[in-house]
C-alpha cells in the first residue's frame, strides 16, 4: 500500500496523498534556445510527461523561462545551483517549482529571499540530495556516501526551510547505485511526511538505464514509496517518460491506459507475432482506455493464460482466434488480424 504523504502542488499537478504518481523529465536543450526547448517540451507533453525541469545555469537562461512557459502546458521547474539570483529571477519569470538545495546557496539571508519569494508565489521547492555531491562534513562523518549520510543531508536542508516556516517541499535522495538509492528512500520515508521524488540518478544509456531504473523505481513503488518519479537516461528525454509510464503501468499504478501483454513466441507460433505486437502497440499508445490487450502466439499461450485480458488474439496456422475475457469469439485470417483487433479495441 502506498504511503500517504502531504499533498503539495506544482502548477496544476498535485503531488502526494492519493494523487497519481507524476512522471517527470528534464530538457536536454540549452534553455537559452527558446524555440528548441519549447519543441522538446511539446514532445514530452505528447509522450505524457506531467512536469518538466529546465537547467538554469545563467541569467540569460532565467530570462528565457517565461517565454518558454507561455508556450507549453505542463508545469516548469527551474534547476538552480549555487547562485540565489538565478532562483529569484526564475520565480519572477513564473516557474512552478524550484530544484535547489538551501545549503549550497550561500548565507542564510540569500536562502530567506528565495523562500519568501516562493511563499508569495506558492511555488514548491524540491530538495535534491545526490550521493555524488554530499557535503564534505558528512563524508568525513560517515566515511563515504551512505544512506544515513544522504538522509541527514536532506533533513538538514529541510530544517533550514522549516525554520523559515516553509513546508511546500518535495524531497529526492538519488544515487547511481540501486541498493543505496532504495535504502536512502526507505529511511527518509520513515522520518518525514514530505512527498518523495524517486529515481536512480545517472542510470546510463537507454538500454542499461531502463533496466537499472526499472529495478530501483519499481522496488520503491512496490514498497509504497514514491509520489513522483524521473527515469534518468542518457538519450532523448521522451524515452524517460515512456519508461516511467511503463513502470507505472506494469504495477497497475497508471489508469486510463491500454496495457499490452504478449508472449515471447516459440516454435509453435505460426504468425508474424513480433511485428503484429509492435504495430498494435504503436497504434494504440495514445488511447485513453483502461483495458488489457493480449497478443499471444498460439493456443497454448492464448485464451487460457490471457483469460484476464479484456480482448486478445491467439495465433494459429495463418490465422488467429479473437477472444474476450478468455472466451473465443471468432477466427480471423492473418492478413486481417491487426485491422479487426484495432477495430474491436476502438469500439470498447
Q: What angle do CA 29, 32, 35 make, to 5 degrees?
A: 70
3-state secondary structure of 104: helix
The top-scoring range by mean pLDDT among 4-8, 42-46, 124-128, 261-265 is: 42-46
Backbone angles phi, psi at 155, to 5 degrees: -65, -35
**Integer Cα distance of 212 and 210 in angstroms:** 6
3-state secondary structure of 26: strand
Here the cell at position 73 is 502546458
Tell me the per-residue pLDDT of 121-177, one tens digit each, with 9 for 90 and over: 999 999 988 888 888 899 999 999 999 999 999 999 899 899 999 999 999 998 999
Tell me the per-residue pLDDT of 13-33, one tens digit each, with 9 for 90 and over: 999 999 999 999 999 999 999
3-state secondary structure of 247: helix
Continuous H helices in the chain: 34-47, 59-69, 84-92, 108-121, 136-142, 147-163, 178-191, 206-222, 237-250, 273-284, 337-346
The residue among 40, 23, 50 whose CA lies nearest residue 230 is 23
**Integer Cα distance of 114 and 98 in angstroms:** 10
Q: What is the DSSP letter of 43?
A: H
**Residue 314, pLDDT score:** 84
Tell me the per-residue pLDDT of 211-253, one tens digit each, with 9 for 90 and over: 999 999 999 999 999 999 999 999 999 999 999 999 998 898 9
Please count the other Cβ atoms lying within 10 Å of the Cβ belonging to residue 71: 14
What length is written for the chain? 348
Contact 136, 164 (CB under 8 A): no
Ramachandran area for residue 143 (φ above 0: left; ψ -120 to 50: alpha; else beta): left
All structural domains of the chain, each given as residue ranges with its CATH number in brackets, are 8-250 (3.20.20.20), 258-346 (3.30.413.10)
Q: What is the DSSP letter of 132?
A: G
Contact 65, 88 (CB under 8 A): no
Mean pLDDT on 290-294: 84
Which residues lie closer than 8 Å to 300 by C-beta, 6 or more apart?
Answer: 268
Please report the DSSP string for 290-303 in residue order. -EEEEEESSSTTST
pTM over 0.85: yes
Amino acid at each position: 500500500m502506498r504511503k500517504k504523504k502531504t499533498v503539495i502542488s506544482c502548477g496544476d499537478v498535485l503531488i502526494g496523498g492519493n494523487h497519481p504518481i507524476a512522471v517527470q523529465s528534464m530538457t536536454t536543450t540549452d534553455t537559452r534556445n527558446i524555440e528548441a526547448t519549447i519543441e522538446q517540451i511539446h514532445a514530452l507533453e505528447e509522450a505524457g510527461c506531467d512536469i518538466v525541469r529546465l537547467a538554469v545555469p545563467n541569467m540569460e537562461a532565467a530570462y528565457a523561462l517565461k517565454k518558454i512557459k507561455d508556450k507549453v502546458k505542463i508545469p516548469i521547474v527551474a534547476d538552480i545551483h549555487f547562485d540565489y539570483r538565478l532562483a529569484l529571477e526564475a520565480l519572477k519569470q513564473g516557474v512552478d517549482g524550484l530544484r535547489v538545495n538551501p545549503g549550497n546557496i550561500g548565507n542564510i539571508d540569500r536562502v530567506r529571499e528565495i523562500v519568501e519569494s516562493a511563499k508569495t508565489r506558492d511555488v514548491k521547492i524540491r530538495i535534491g540530495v545526490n550521493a555524488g555531491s554530499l557535503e564534505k562534513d558528512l563524508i568525513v562523518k560517515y566515511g563515504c556516501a551512505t544512506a544515513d549520510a544522504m538522509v541527514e543531508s536532506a533533513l538538514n536542508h529541510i530544517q533550514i526551510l522549516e525554520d523559515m516556516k516553509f513546508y511546500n517541499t518535495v524531497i529526492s535522495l538519488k544515487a547511481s547505485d540501486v541498493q543505496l538509492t532504495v535504502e536512502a528512500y526507505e529511511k527518509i520515508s520513515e522520518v518525514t511526511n514530505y512527498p518523495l521524488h524517486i529515481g536512480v540518478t545517472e542510470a546510463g544509456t537507454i538500454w542499461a538505464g531502463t533496466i537499472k531504473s526499472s529495478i530501483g523505481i519499481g522496488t520503491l513503488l512496490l514498497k509504497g514509496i514514491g509520489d513522483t518519479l524521473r527515469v534518468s537516461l542518457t538519450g532523448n528525454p521522451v524515452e524517460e517518460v515512456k519508461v516511467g509510464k511503463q513502470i507505472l503501468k506494469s504495477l497497475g499504478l497508471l489508469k486510463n491506459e491500454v496495457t499490452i501483454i504478449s508472449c515471447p513466441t516459440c516454435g509453435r507460433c505460426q504468425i508474424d507475432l513480433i511485428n503484429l505486437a509492435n504495430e498494435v502497440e504503436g497504434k494504440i499508445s495514445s488511447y485513453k482506455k483502461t483495458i488489457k490487450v493480449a497478443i499471444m502466439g498460439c493456443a497454448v499461450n492464448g485464451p487460457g493464460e490471457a483469460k484476464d485480458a479484456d480482448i486478445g488474439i491467439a495465433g494459429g496456422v495463418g490465422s488467429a482466434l479473437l477472444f474476450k475475457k478468455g472466451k473465443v469469439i471468432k477466427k480471423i485470417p492473418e492478413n486481417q488480424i491487426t485491422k479487426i483487433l484495432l477495430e474491436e479495441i476502438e469500439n470498447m
